[in-house]
């Protein structure tokens, strides 16, 4: 590639800010997609995806070389000291061109090619359909209908093609309301609860100081009438009141209470994207202190205001969820309705509906409220070169709020922390096309479903890694967030995950999940062996009955011929042997190689005699303990954020790269594919006919 001026640099020192006195020396490789640092002594590799790079800074020359500081969107911060300044400059200029392309068509997803056996390109793109998600809520119905006016994105180009509106809404109401709302984002249904209360979302009205729109007022009244439980509804403006008032000077603003009947207005004070971006930067500065004292870290975290913002988002979401749970409908907006509105609408649904707390449901929630309703992922995540003021951690905050709820209600979520981290990293990686673009129309124009792979298809192959072992389905219909200051926590696993020495060697969730998988494997094996033993019993009893019948028949015949029988042992032996040779094929004494494996044969199956030993040996009864395993067999060292995975066939521990196969084991009754290492996979391929 023309962008790569220098592909390999030797004798590079990687400085860990927690271990500045003993830097690691190795080789730095620059590829089309990754920056790779290889330590020759330990074989440890540090891979940095170009799309994960947030910033690159060339520091002043030192006595040991030219330092290059790289900060990542995954919150990894690393410094490479390159011996020659000219080499450092070449790596620096190459990375500047690679980490943030000018064109969206240069993103990683358009060139990414997984292994052929992983999953087809179309896998995952068909998992979620907006119409199916609304059918899950029993929509359309007598109150709500599908609007076809946005089929070609003429009503609102940042909304999905299928939008659901009140049946009472006329064409004039829809068009006028769209024109009266910022970016044409008219009120549309996003969630209908089982008590008829709904959550609708939109953008701020273009009201200025005195403008009004009768059709928009009628639209909100039509939404209120869809719920017969109450005679009022809420309009929630997620912004601080002062921000909404400032927008009036620009001809925007908020609804005038005098014009909208039977509606209660609430401002709930979530700050804008610029405040959130600055807040996250201060959090990272707090995490990057070289020798942080307790007071220094806590003061820095407090001054960032990050936890205050997380609490504010949860507070607003709780207000919406509580209102809907009590049977009151809510219309939600912020400025343009694609940032704070997406956060609180999706979190409110997460609290209300246990379906969205499953893996499939959470993915559907993201598809509906973030992708279909037009959260600007490419701008907010800085996928390509764009205005830096548009970048903001809106989706990260949503994941953080979800994690806060998981900490408070650990049994209510099917997925674990790793699931959220994978989502966060791949939103920024652009390895898959799922989160590329700013709205549904962008993704269709780019033909992402044809040209790229889906993140959901990739995650479907790794579902066992995301299971929460404490999950109890339907344990709570609705959950509530505890907003006490003591209950809002700093998410160490996200913002400090690459810091050594502050994490447990094995996360508790991983240990529990591993124990659960081991138990499942043994139970499946016991089930299989129980059935085999039952078949042995049945076969032995049938064989014994045949043997008994044959013996009695032989005794009767011997009495009849005893008087005429020749008293010659050799003659008698040859005679009995010839009778046995002529006996039925299923005679229990006919086969000279009779064994317990043969006893499993039935009329329906014809397995080989060696099948039983193979079935018994195909399942590892004992699994290697995780605690003292520090490296994989491929020499990759395990650290605090890499998952240790057991091979279900041999019981040994491997890294995720070495255990990428799933096959059904002969010794399992269920026949479900389970993780096996590459060595066991090759051995099973040789044994299969």
Active site residues: 334
The closest alpha carbon to 641, from 547, 525, 504, belongs to 504
CA nearest to 522, candidates 685, 674, 321: 674
Bridge partners of 659, per DSSP, are none
For residue 533, the surrounding DSSP H or E stretch is helix 508-561
CB distance 419 to 463 below 8 Å: no
Residue 264, Cβ density class (10 Å: 0-12 exposed, 13-18 middle, ≥19 buried): middle
Q: How far apart are CA 121 and CA 127, in angstroms?
A: 13
Q: What are phi and psi of 4, to 5 degrees?
A: -90, 110
Beta bridge partners of 234: 264, 330
Residue 148, C-beta contacts closer than 8 angstroms, at least 6 positions apart: none
Cα within 13 Å of Cα(60), Cβ side: 0
Q: How far is CA 622 from the centre of its chain?
A: 30
- For 307, residues 6+ apart whose C-beta sits below 8 A from its C-beta are 301, 488, 489, 490
Helix (H, G, I), strand (E, B) or coil at 200: strand
Residues 6+ apart with CB under 8 A from 596: 536, 612
Q: Give the residue among 49, 161, 132 at the shortest CA–CA distance from 363.
A: 132
Coil, helix or strand for 663? strand
- Alpha-carbon distance of 651 to 433, in angstroms, equals 36
Tokens of residue 584, six digits: 């039925």
Could you tell me where the beta strands, DSSP code E, fall in 268-381? 330-333
Q: In the 8-state DSSP scheme, what is residue 23?
A: P
Listed in sequence order, the residues at least 6 apart from 226 whose beta carbon sits closer than 8 Å to its beta carbon are: 143, 144, 166, 167, 196, 198, 329
506 C-beta neighbours (distance < 10 Å), count: 17
């Amino acid at each position: 590639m023309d962008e790569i001026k220098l592909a390999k640099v030797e004798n590079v020192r990687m400085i860990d800010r927690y271990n500045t006195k003993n830097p690691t020396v190795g080789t730095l490789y620059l590829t089309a997609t990754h920056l790779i640092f290889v330590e020759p002594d330990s074989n440890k590799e540090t891979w940095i995806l170009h799309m994960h790079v947030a910033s690159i800074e060339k520091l002043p020359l030192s006595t040991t070389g030219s330092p290059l500081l790289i900060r990542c969107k995954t919150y990894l911060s690393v410094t490479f000291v390159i011996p020659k300044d000219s080499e450092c400059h070449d790596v620096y200029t190459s990375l500047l061109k690679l980490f943030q392309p000018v064109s969206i068509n240069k993103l990683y997803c358009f060139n990414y090619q997984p292994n052929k056996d992983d999953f087809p390109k179309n896998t995952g793109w068909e998992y979620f359909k907006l119409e199916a998600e609304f059918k899950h809520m029993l929509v359309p119905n007598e109150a709500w209908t599908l609007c076809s006016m946005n089929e070609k994105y003429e009503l609102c180009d940042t909304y999905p093609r299928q939008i659901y509106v009140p049946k009472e809404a006329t064409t004039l109401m829809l068009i006028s309301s769209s024109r009266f709302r910022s970016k044409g984002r008219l009120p549309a249904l996003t969630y209908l609860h089982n008590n008829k209360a709904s959550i609708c979302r939109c953008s701020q009205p273009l009201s200025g100081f005195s403008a009004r729109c009768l059709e928009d007022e009628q639209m909100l009244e039509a939404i209120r009438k869809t719920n017969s439980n109450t005679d009022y509804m809420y309009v929630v403006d997620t912004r601080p009141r002062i921000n909404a008032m400032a927008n009036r000077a620009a001809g925007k603003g908020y609804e005038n209470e005098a014009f909208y009947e039977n509606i209660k207005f609430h401002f709930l004070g979530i700050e804008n994207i610029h405040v959130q971006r600055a807040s996250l930067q201060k959090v990272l500065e707090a995490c990057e202190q070289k020798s942080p004292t307790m007071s220094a870290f806590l003061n820095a975290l407090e001054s960032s205001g990050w936890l205050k913002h997380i609490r504010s988002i949860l507070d607003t979401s709780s207000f919406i969820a509580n209102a809907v749970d009590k049977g009151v409908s809510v219309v939600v907006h912020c400025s343009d309705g694609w940032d704070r509105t997406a956060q609180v609408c999706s979190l409110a649904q997460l609290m209300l509906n246990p379906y969205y707390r499953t893996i499939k449901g959470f993915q559907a929630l993201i598809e509906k409220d973030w992708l279909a309703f037009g959260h600007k992922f490419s701008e907010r995540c800085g996928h390509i070169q764009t205005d830096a003021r548009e970048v903001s951690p809106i989706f990260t905050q949503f994941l953080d709020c979800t994690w806060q709820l998981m900490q408070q209600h650990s049994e209510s979520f099917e997925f674990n922390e790793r699931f959220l981290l994978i989502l966060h990293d791949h939103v920024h990686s652009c390895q898959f096309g799922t989160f590329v673009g700013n709205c549904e129309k962008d993704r269709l124009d780019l033909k992402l479903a044809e040209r790229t792979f889906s993140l959901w298809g990739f995650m479907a192959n790794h579902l066992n890694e995301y299971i929460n072992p404490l999950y109890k389905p339907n344990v709570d219909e609705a959950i509530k967030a505890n907003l006490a200051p003591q209950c809002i926590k700093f998410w160490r696993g996200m913002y400090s995950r690459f810091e050594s020495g502050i994490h447990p060697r094995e996360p508790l969730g991983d240990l529990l999940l591993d124990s659960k998988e081991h138990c499942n494997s043994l139970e499946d094996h016991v089930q299989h062996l129980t059935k085999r033993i039952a078949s042995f019993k049945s076969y032995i009893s049938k064989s014994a009955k045949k043997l008994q019948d044959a013996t009695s028949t032989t005794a009767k015949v011997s009495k009849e011929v005893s008087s005429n029988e020749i008293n010659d042992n050799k003659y008698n032996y040859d005679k009995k042997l010839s009778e046995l040779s002529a006996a039925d094929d299923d005679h229990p004494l006919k086969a000279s190689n009779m064994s317990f494996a043969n006893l499993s044969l039935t009329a329906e199956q014809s397995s080989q005699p060696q099948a039983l030993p193979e079935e018994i040996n195909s399942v590892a009864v004992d699994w290697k303990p995780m605690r003292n395993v520090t490296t994989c067999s491929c020499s990759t060292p395990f650290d605090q954020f890499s998952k240790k995975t057991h091979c279900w066939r041999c019981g040994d521990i491997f890294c995720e790269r070495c255990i990428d196969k799933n096959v059904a084991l002969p010794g399992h009754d269920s026949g479900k594919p389970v993780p096996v290492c590459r060595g066991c996979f090759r051995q099973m391929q040789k044994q299969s006919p």
